[in-house]
Structures are given as C-alpha cells and as structure tokens.
A and B are shown apart, each in its own frame.
Chain A
Amino acid sequence: MNEIRLGAIFVLLAGGVFFTFVSAVGVIRLPDVYTRAHTASQTDTLGAGLVVAAVVLAYGVETEVIKALLLLVFIFITNPTAAHAVGRAAYEEGIEPWTKGDERR
C-alpha cells in the first residue's frame, strides 16, 4: 500500500514537472499573446494540479490535506480566470490574433 502511494507521488511529480516544462516552452516559443495565454492557463494548470495532487497524497490524512485540496480548487478557479483576463485585455486593446503566415511576435 505504501509503495503504491509512493509510486503514485513520484508519477504525479514527474507529470507535474513535465507539464510545467511544456508550459514554459510554450510561453517562450509560441508566436503571440493569445497562444501564449493558452499554455499559461492549460498546461501550467495541469502541471500545478499534478504537483499539488502529489502534495495531497504525501499528506495522507492530516488536516493539511484539506488545505492542499482547497489550494487545488483555487488553482483551478483562478488560473483560467487569469488567462481569460489577460486574453480579454489583449482583445480590448485590439491586438490582432496571430494567424498562420504572420511574423512571430
């Protein structure tokens, strides 16, 4: 049982690091604001979610586990909202979305 938990924690951590890595690559590599907001909100949320899930597992049954779960919920509420806010700001400012063939910005 304990080995399974330990293994799950390692898998979650690895997955979390991987998706955070992908989001960092995306934020650096993608061509414009909107596309970057995609990775910032999505892969990053999943990465953070997996790592916090590992933290939840590590806590087991202590009261902290509720805090960690709450943290998970907040990340899943606030992260997409933040991405939406940034995308909306860009749209309201009139930044044209990049389309295929445009120069990278």
Chain B
Amino acid sequence: MSGSDSIRPYTESEIIMTAVRIVAPFVLTYGLFITFHGADSPGGGFQGGALIGVVVFMLAFAFGIAPTREWVGSGLMTALAAGGVIVFVSVGLGTLALGGKFLEYGLYEPFLGPDATKWGMEAIEIGGVAAIVSGVIMALFFLTAAGYASQGGEDV
C-alpha cells in the first residue's frame, strides 16, 4: 500500500450516477416523442436522434466511457446508422421503382392512401434520419473519447 496513498482511485460520483439513472428514461422518451412527432410539430428526426444519442452521453459521463461503450456495443451503433441509411435509400428508391423521382412520396398513394406524403416523411424521419443521427453521434463520441485515451498512452 505504501506509495499508492497519493494515487487515489478515481471513483465516479454516486450522486451524479443516481441523478442520471433517474433522468435518462425521460430524455429517451422525449427523444423518441420528438422523432415520432417530427412531421407536424417542432423537432423531427434530427433533433430526436440527437436526444437519443445524448442519453448515451449522459450514461458515459456518469458511469465512465468504457463501460458505456461495452453496454451500447458497437453493433448497435453500426446497426442504427446502417439501418437508417437502408430505410432512407429504400424509401427513396421505391419511388424510382414506381417510375418517379427520388423521394417523390406522392407515388405511394395507391398503397398508403391520400396521406402518403406524410407517411413517407414519417418513415424517413423515424427510420432514416433519427436512426442515422443517433448512431453516428454515438459513434463519433466514442471515437473522440478513444482518441483522448490513446494520446495518454491508454489501451483502447
């Protein structure tokens, strides 16, 4: 033990951890709410996706970045970003296949009824933009954090 007296182990603050535990579900719910109501109220896929990413930031700030990264898993981030792109592109290309322009929602009317434009936008907002934004924002954050660590000679 001698010599290690001065190296106090770094502990995360119990108070911050508990506060984040309480707040996180509300932020995530709010993020998803904004995402789902993007077409007709302030907000939308981008803001919602950002809030979903913020939930992960919160956990990372309170519990440490490495454990949070393990908890999230790189698979989820990749899946979100890639899945979002797939949704986006397939909705867009669907209109091309029906003989229109890219993202010309009106062509979905035979399948979705008169509100096709709204539904198309919802699909893009929810399945596309929100997923891409949240996935990318998390991935960027963890990449930046990894950069910090490797500068300090850490094993990432």
Number of A residues contacting the other chain (C-beta, 8 Å)? 7
Cβ–Cβ contact A85 & B16, under 8 A: yes
Docked CA distance A88–B22 (Å):
20
Cβ–Cβ contact B23 & A78, under 8 A: yes
Q: Is the interface of B mostly helix, strand, loop or mixed?
A: helix
Cβ–Cβ contact B19 & A77, under 8 A: yes
Cβ-closest chain B residue relative to A89 = B13
Query: Which chain A positions have C-beta within 8 A of B13?
Result: 84-85, 88
Query: Which chain A positions have C-beta within 8 A of B23?
Result: 74, 77-78
The smallest beta-carbon distance between A74 and chain B, in angstroms, is: 7
Query: Which chain B positions have C-beta within 8 A of A85?
Result: 13, 16
The smallest beta-carbon distance between B121 and chain A, in angstroms, is: 27
The smallest beta-carbon distance between A87 and chain B, in angstroms, is: 10
Interface residues of B in 49-84 (CB under 8 A from A): none
Interface residues of B in 6-51 (CB under 8 A from A): 13, 15-16, 19, 22-23, 26
Interface residues of A in 71-100 (CB under 8 A from B): 74, 77-78, 81, 84-85, 88
Docked CA distance A85–B19 (Å):
11
Cβ-closest chain A residue relative to B18 = A81
Docked CA distance A19–B23 (Å):
26
Question: Could you say which of A74, A85, A88 has the most chain B C-beta atoms within 10 Å of its C-beta?
Answer: A85
B interface residues (Cβ-Cβ under 8 A, vs A) = 13, 15-16, 19, 22-23, 26
A interface residues (Cβ-Cβ under 8 A, vs B) = 74, 77-78, 81, 84-85, 88
Q: With A81-B15, A84-B15 given, can you name 15 additional A-B contacts, CB distance below 8 Å?
A: A74-B23, A74-B26, A77-B19, A77-B22, A77-B23, A78-B19, A78-B23, A81-B16, A81-B19, A84-B13, A84-B16, A85-B13, A85-B16, A88-B13, A88-B16
A sample of 15 inter-chain contacts (CB < 8 A) reads: A74-B23, A74-B26, A77-B19, A77-B22, A78-B19, A78-B23, A81-B15, A81-B16, A81-B19, A84-B13, A84-B15, A84-B16, A85-B16, A88-B13, A88-B16
